[in-house]
Structures are given as structure tokens and as C-alpha cells.
Chain A
């Protein structure tokens, strides 16, 4: 069974540019999470989807960050415009229906903003 797929794995952009990250969850998993992991820190939840609905986006900085999950499968996280402080690893995770199930994490996208 394929795991959570994320792309790109690495991205380097200049500040003020836009950037997008893509996540393909495990087949059949209808809960999808985006996390932010700063260097030397643990992951912090940005947004959680149940199917195509964002049920918890309280930690998403909505002035520059946006996310979508069309058709309740793949998801895209976007930053526009990027700032130097956005340099971090962006993790995607998925789980089966409902929150009692284990979260499976992708390898992450490492973003560097110069």
C-alpha cells in the first residue's frame, strides 16, 4: 500500500513569491492534515479536513496561507506571498474516517525562502 505522497520534496523560492505544496493521502483516508514543522520543533497543526470540508483551520494564517481539498482526495497548501519566516517543513498526514484512527505522515516538503 502506498503511503502519503507529497511533492515537491524540496523547494527554494525568493521572498514575496508564491509557492504550493501537494499531498496525495492514502487511498480511502478521508481525514487529511497539514502540519508546519519549524527547525528543532515538533509539528503544529495548520488545518484538518474531513473529506472536502475544512473542520479545523484555526491555526492557519489566512492572510497568506490557503488550502483546498477538491473532491475530498488530494490537497494543496499555498503560501502567497512567502516570507523568510515561512522556511520550514510542511507535513501532510491522513487517517481513516474519524479521529480515533492513526495518522500516517508523508515525508514532508522542505521550504527555504531566501
Chain B
């Protein structure tokens, strides 16, 4: 079956620090990979995605590269801000569409000024 393993949190960083949140997966078939973000009091939002090996998804300064050889999709940002404090979820879908998402457990990120 499909599963996603995320780096356990919580993660606390100082503003302008470099961020990496690790995500690895197992999947039947060829998955599409996603990062979702959940800000306090809000619903999950799609942050970025990649649909094939070596694709790089990027948005709001965040990046993640689809690594098929290591089955990974690590989230990175060069310089975090206080406003990046949120819970981040890695997810995959092996269906032809994206209707069946499998999520990781989430990583809570707190950025301190």
C-alpha cells in the first residue's frame, strides 16, 4: 500500500534560518507528490507539487524535488520567516487523478524572531 513518512516535529527555528523537512514515501505505481500547509485556524492549502521524477515544485520560496531513486520529497526553504509557522503535510497520490491523497502525519514548524 501507500504510505508517507515525515520528519517528526515540532521543529523550531530562528528567523532567516534554513529549513528542511524530510519526507519519504512508499507507493504502488508512480505517485504524484505534494506538500500541503495548514496555518493556525485555517484549512489545508496546497503549497507545491511534483508529478514525475526530478521535477521540482516551488512556491513562496519553498522547494521540493521528486527523487525517485531515494523515494523522497524533502521540503526546503532558504530563509524562513515568522509567517511560515504552520503545520506541513507531505502527501502522495497514485491515482490517475489526485482524488486519493495519502498524507503523512504532519510537521509543526515554529519560527521565532
Chain A residues close to B by CB (< 8 Å): 3-4, 31, 33, 40-45, 48, 56, 91, 93, 98-108
Residue of A whose beta carbon sits closest to that of B98: A99
Complex alpha-carbon distance, A24 and B103, angstroms? 23
Cβ of B69: which chain A residues have Cβ within 8 Å of it? Answer: none
Known: A42-B4, A42-B91, A99-B98. A4 touches B43 (CB 8 A): yes
Could you tell me if B43 and A3 are in contact, using CB atoms closer than 8 angstroms? yes
Instruction: Determine the chain A residues whose CB is within 8 A of the CB of B104 once the complex forms.
Output: 42
Which residues of the partner chain B approach A41 to less than 8 Å between Cβ atoms? 103, 105-106
In the assembly, what is the distance between CA of A42 and CA of B98, in Å?
16
Bound state CA distance, A33 and B97, in angstroms? 14
Q: Do A99 and B91 touch (CB < 8 A)?
A: no
The answer to whether the Cβ of B100 comes within 8 Å of any Cβ in the partner chain is: yes
